[in-house]
Amino acid sequence: MSVLLTARELEKSFASRVLFRGLNFGVTTGSRIGLIGANGAGKSTLLRILAGQIQPDSGEVIRQRGLRVAMMEQEARFASGASVESAVQAGAEALGDDVFDADVHKRIEVVLSRLKLNEIRDTSVDSLSGGWRRRVQLGAALAGAPDLLLMDEPTNHLDTESILWLEDFLSSSSLSIVLISHDRLFLARTANCILELDARYENGLLMMEGELSEFLERKAERLAGLSERERRRANLLRRETEWLRRGAKARQTKQRARQDQAADLADEVAQLKRLNRRQRMQLKFGSAQVDEDRAPEKLIVAEQLSVSRGVSRGVSRADRELVRGLDLIINSRSRIGLLGPNGCGKSTLIRVLLGELPPTSGKIKWAERFRATHFEQGRDTLNLSVSAIRNVAPDGDSVVIGDRSINAKAYLSKFLFTPEQAVLPAQQLSGGERARLRLAQTLLEPSPLLVLDEPTNDLDFETLEVLEEALEDFQGAVLLVSHDRAFLDAVCDEIWAFATPQAPALVRYASYFQWELARGQNLNSSAPELTSTQRSNREANSATNETAPKVKVSFKDKYEFENMESTIQLAEAKLENLTQKAETASIQESAEAWQQVEKAQAEVERLYARWAELEARLKV
């Protein structure tokens, strides 16, 4: 295993803010490194430094002689009017290859074939969907035969099918990769090493080999140790301060040394407090309270609903049927995830259900005084030309939450906006900051139904966790569109998946992973449809489904189950080791040694019980 690239003491600032300082790490052959960190931590900047696109303020990147590096940016950029073939060829030329060379030409043909771009090689890239543009972008990167591929949010604009394809492609590839992604399931399935940028760590980063689930466990242990160090050093500082305050009788040189030690200790404690301080976004969605003893209120009832959308055919337009003969109920307790490829009509269906567009046929009935809060995919309600404050408080300096007024800056601080950021025009905010600002707007519009169209785009891990918790506490209904499958599975009790265009229908699943299993086994035809035959079962509670019993399995549970066998093996090895030590222990050490054996035995039994529990829930 050779070292392809080494970063030494990298430092980079943006304006007056230091993004990172003193970064040291290496990238070896076969590494698939997931680069994570909070919004604004400098991930994209670091990737561009590794690619040689920008220079660090200090430090250096040492590359293996002749190293070929390709970069996939967040947004796919191609020459105006470029065809698929010419865009892929441009990737080879970018690394200095002659596309007329026989070997290079053969490589390009292999890439076009492998990525299934052959049939559209003459098509203009401008006319392609986001998913296919992403595939062309990958083809351009691979055409140069890179030793190292750098990818910045490669799942952006991809639908679930395309993400699954990319997961399979990267997992089976021998490429060395450094990728940025907020998609937890994508990282868990593709990365074999995680690198997190975070000022709380020594030298600003934490890098560990292994899967994402292992990293998160070890990270928690590391941060717990950091908190314990802060507590101990703070206690020592308190004792030193008390000693100095008493004016202890000691030689002047000794007292001066104690004063210097206390000053150094105070600096260390202050730094530890800063590192351990975790600002956490405060989210709480308001809604009408739900009486648990009453049957769920029907918010939306659709009968024999058909939805079509106009599509261009040359200069004329024709209607494409998205959904046909759909019967559904959304009640006050529904938690529904809408799943389907890009362009299948998810957003159109949402607008029909909200009464913003008319259906082609069928009836929709809404509850009396029906209201819904709509977080739209394009965040169109943000006014980019005015400040963050003016986006939440257009006519003053305060906002109204429930029955009380709160200062607008104080309100934005709950979403981690500093006073300086609060007065910036929204167009100067990052993608993650704009997403938080739109969430701040959404919380000012309480209603019994939250409709969230891609709310997770650009959000970091911790913000996603806060959003998940807020939705778990929300007392109303949720209709969610998201390509973040872990988020979708954590929030929703059922998934409505679009079928093929040839058979316009919604197919219902109990969870995302049930949909994925059906997809893999080609069982879509046997999954239950939301048709009139199910209306009687849906009347009492839209979550009831006899053909697909709802078992809520979280992302964490699934990966705990997948790693349980190796976890038990480690626990049993530890038990065997402790047993051997106990059998040879001295009389004085014997009692304590056997107590450790008993604890290890109990842990092994607990793990087996947990394994059986997860197996039953997953029904494997």
pLDDT tens-digit series, residues 234-260 = 766 676 666 666 665 554 555 566 566
Answer for the pair 360, 321: CB distance below 8 angstroms, yes or no.
Answer: yes
Task: Choose among 504, 538, 525: nearest CA to 326.
Answer: 504
End-to-end Cα separation, the chain, in angstroms: 37
**H-helix or E-strand containing 309?**
strand 298-313
Least confident of 196-210, 238-252, 380-394, 484-498: 238-252
Please count the other Cβ atoms lying within 10 Å of the Cβ belonging to residue 443.
21
Q: 114 — phi, psi (to 5°)?
A: -65, -35
Q: Do 426 and 459 touch, CB atoms closer than 8 A? A: no
Task: Return the higher-pLDDT residue of 310 and 341.
Answer: 341
Cα gap 266→287, rounded to integer Å: 46
Residue 50: pLDDT band with limits 50, 70, 90:
very high
Question: Measured between alpha carbons, how far is 495 from 480 in angstroms, rounded to an integer?
Answer: 9
Nearest alpha-carbon partner for 538 in 287, 330, 304, 365: 330
Say yes or no to pLDDT of 297 above 60: yes
Nearest by Cα to 367 from 447, 251, 263, 258: 447
Tell me what pLDDT residue 45 has. Answer: 93
Asked whether the predicted pLDDT for residue 316 surpasses 60, the reply is no
Residue 548 has a pLDDT of 41
b (16+ CB within 10 A) / e for 153-180: bbbbbbbbebbbbbbebbeeeebbbbbb
Name residue, tokens 């908190």: 227
E-assigned strand segments in 414-544 = 449-453, 477-481, 494-498, 506-509
Place of tokens 């394994």: 611
List the single range of 183-187, 339-343, 420-424, 592-596 with lowest mean pLDDT: 592-596
Residues 211, 460: Cα–Cα separation, whole Å? 18
**CA 378/CA 361 separation, integer angstroms:** 28
At residue 435 the predicted structure's pLDDT band, cuts being 50, 70 and 90, is confident
- The token pair that represents 86 in the structure block: 């010419």
Higher confidence at residue 314 or residue 337?
337
Q: Identify the residue with better confidence: 91 or 319.
A: 91
**Residues 606-620: tens digit of each pLDDT:** 887 777 777 776 755
Indicate the DSSP class of residue 7: E
Asked if residues 507 and 499 have their Cβ atoms less than 8 Å apart, the reply is yes
Distance CA 251, CA 183 (A): 61
What confidence score (pLDDT) does residue 420 get? 86
